[in-house]
């Protein structure tokens, strides 16, 4: 009773107009916050309709453009055999056949792996590549303060480039928080939605950057458009490595899981006698960086991309880290003090990883011994990649000097 009498006394004292305005402003504020919270879920379905500069860009069209450029430039074709000149780089049928061959070894010769048997619901862990860093990280999980955000930077590639080493080094930085697994959101789990993706991320405090790495994004047709729809100002990091060594590393990884596969030399050629390279074999296709980069450049300016040299990441990790931290707008905190060269491992290792105070190298799956590949095959591959590498240097404005390695290789094979 006392309450009612006091409120009616209050309303009689306050003019009705003011009360009305007060109620109206409350409603508007409520409406505003409701809309804000819906924004993320609204944005997601709309992204499918994204049109770049007034036209729908298809990756196929952009690849064709680049392919035409490559084949019409006299420099480009100079290093191709006659057959290669007249054969498209990615004949779809050949590609499907090569992938089918791979699937066949898996189906007919090897028992189904645990990974293949598992439902694809969970994000892909780097299962075969899992280093101690990952598993121990999970065991040492600390309380997660802050809020989960979509990544502001992604290491999008390339497979076997040195992406794990880079991510682990970045995680040492107090302003970087990264998911340890490879979420494979933009290639395999996209239908799960942005909320699912966000939920995978670690929580961040104000000023911290959320990151992830999935090296297959770089060669996924839909990835540039999808990532652009999520965040057009995102920063993209690509670790590149001599495509020939990268291919051998990729093959070594497959071989470690499927020892029965044909030799590298067999897989690399469509026709060995003609010297015709099988560019549809994924181990070789991934290394045609210029073609893949073309797709990304339809959506992102170069200023939003940073290219890390996989080779320099091994010989000068601190130098590469300085550039990465600058690109991410971070203080240069990860420096040479954080690395030491481990002779047994043959690679730089971290003195103090993110989750531990004890030094740690990456796991056994990083830095595998590569099989010996016939020198003529390596030479042929260098020749195959040269025009693509040249175009890649031109596009990025960076010379990765992979051709110097060829000179060194050919000198040592003459010795
Ligand atoms: N510090 C350090 N320790 C170990 N390995 C290092 C390091 N820095 C770069 N690398 C090179 O990283 C290669 C593996 O690349 P990724 O991590 O991108 O592989 S994956 O795509 O995630 O499977 C791996 O390739 P391989 O040597 O062929 O195994 C290494 O050469």
Give the torsion through C-alpha atoms of 331, 328, 154, 218, to 10 deg: -130
Q: In CATH, what number is assigned to the domain containing residue 349?
A: 3.40.50.300
CB 240 within 8 A of CB 309: yes
Note whether residue 97 is domain-resident: no
Q: Identify the CA nearest to 350 among candidates 172, 210, 179, 180.
A: 172
Distance of alpha carbon 11 from alpha carbon 413, whole angstroms: 96
Number of domains in the chain: 1
Note whether residue 78 is domain-resident: no
- Which pLDDT value is given to residue 21? 76
- Which pLDDT value is given to residue 414? 52
Note whether residue 296 is domain-resident: yes
- ipTM of the complex model: 0.99
- Which pLDDT value is given to residue 405? 75
Catalytic one of 159, 160, 270, 386: 160
Q: What is the mean pLDDT of each run of 10 residues along the chain (415 residues)?
A: 42 64 68 44 25 28 45 33 36 42 33 33 45 39 77 98 98 97 98 98 97 98 98 98 98 97 98 96 98 98 98 98 98 97 96 78 95 97 98 98 75 52
DSSP 256-317: HH-TTSPPHHHHHEEETTTTEE-TTSHHHHTT-HHHHHHHHHTTS-GGGEEEEEHHHHHH-H
- For atom 28 of ligand 1, the residue with the nearest CA is 249
Note whether residue 150 is domain-resident: yes
Residue 349, helix vs strand vs coil: strand
- For atom 19 of ligand 1, the residue with the nearest CA is 160
User: What's the start-to-end Cα distance of the chain, in Å?
Assistant: 104
- Which pLDDT value is given to residue 393? 98
The distance of Cα 28 from the centroid of its chain, to the nearest Å, equals 42
Note whether residue 22 is domain-resident: no
- Which pLDDT value is given to residue 31? 59
CB 209 within 8 A of CB 330: yes
339 token code pair? 């690395």
CA of 213 to the centre of ligand 1 (A): 13
Note whether residue 280 is domain-resident: yes
Note whether residue 160 is domain-resident: yes
User: What is the phi/psi pair of residue 79, to 5°?
Assistant: -105, 10
Q: In sequence order, what are the residues at sequence separation of 6 or more whose Cβ sits closer than 8 angstroms to the Cβ of residue 218?
A: 156, 157, 158, 159, 238, 286, 292, 296
CB 196 within 8 A of CB 138: no
- Which pLDDT value is given to residue 224? 98
The domain in which residue 154 lies consists of: 146-408
- Which pLDDT value is given to residue 413? 52
CA of 183 to the centre of ligand 1 (A): 19
Mutate to test the pocket of ligand 1, among 366, 369, 370, 372 (most ligand atoms within 8 A of CB): 366
Note whether residue 241 is domain-resident: yes
- For atom 1 of ligand 1, the residue with the nearest CA is 348
DSSP 106-134: IIIISPPPHHHHS-TTSPPP-TTT--HHH
- Which pLDDT value is given to residue 409? 57
- Which pLDDT value is given to residue 170? 98
């Amino acid at each position: 009773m006392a309450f009612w009498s006091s409120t009616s006394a209050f309303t009689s004292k306050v003019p009705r107009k003011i009360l009305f305005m007060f109620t109206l402003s409350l409603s508007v504020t409520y409406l505003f916050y409701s809309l804000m919270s819906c924004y993320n879920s609204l944005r997601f379905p709309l992204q499918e309709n994204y049109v770049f500069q007034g036209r729908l860009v298809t990756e196929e069209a952009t690849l064709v453009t680049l392919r035409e450029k490559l084949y019409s430039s006299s420099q480009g074709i100079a290093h191709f055999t006659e057959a290669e000149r007249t054969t498209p780089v990615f004949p779809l049928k050949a590609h499907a056949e090569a992938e089918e061959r791979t699937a066949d070894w898996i189906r007919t010769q090897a028992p189904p792996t645990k990974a293949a048997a598992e439902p694809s619901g969970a994000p892909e862990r780097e299962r075969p590549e899992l280093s101690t860093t990952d598993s121990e990280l999970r065991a040492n999980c600390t309380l997660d303060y802050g809020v989960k955000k979509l990544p502001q930077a992604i290491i999008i590639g390339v497979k076997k480039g040195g992406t794990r080493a880079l991510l682990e080094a970045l995680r040492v930085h107090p302003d970087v928080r990264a998911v340890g697994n490879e979420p494979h959101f933009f290639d395999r789990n996209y239908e799960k939605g942005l909320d699912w993706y966000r939920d995978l991320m670690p929580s961040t405090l104000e000023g911290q950057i959320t990151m992830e790495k999935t090296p297959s994004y770089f060669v996924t047709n839909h990835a540039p458009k999808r990532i652009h729809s999520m965040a057009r100002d995102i920063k993209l990091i690509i670790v590149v490595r001599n495509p020939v060594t990268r291919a051998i590393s990729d093959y070594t990884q497959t071989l470690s899981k499927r020892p029965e596969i044909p030799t590298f030399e067999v897989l690399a050629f469509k026709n060995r006698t003609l010297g015709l390279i099988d560019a549809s074999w994924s181990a070789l296709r991934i290394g045609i960086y210029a073609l893949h980069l073309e797709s990304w450049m339809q959506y992102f300016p170069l200023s939003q991309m940073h290219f890390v040299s996989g080779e320099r990441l091994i010989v000068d990790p601190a130098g590469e880290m300085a550039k990465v931290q600058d690109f991410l707008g971070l203080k240069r905190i990860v420096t040479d003090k954080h690395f030491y060269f481990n002779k047994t491992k043959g690679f730089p290792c971290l003195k103090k990883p993110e989750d531990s105070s004890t030094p740690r190298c990456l796991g056994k799956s990083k830095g595998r011994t590569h099989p010996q590949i016939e020198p003529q095959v390596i030479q042929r591959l260098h020749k195959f990649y040269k025009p693509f590498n040249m175009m890649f240097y031109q596009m990025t404005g960076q010379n990765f000097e992979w051709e110097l390695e060829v000179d060194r290789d050919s000198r040592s094979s003459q010795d």
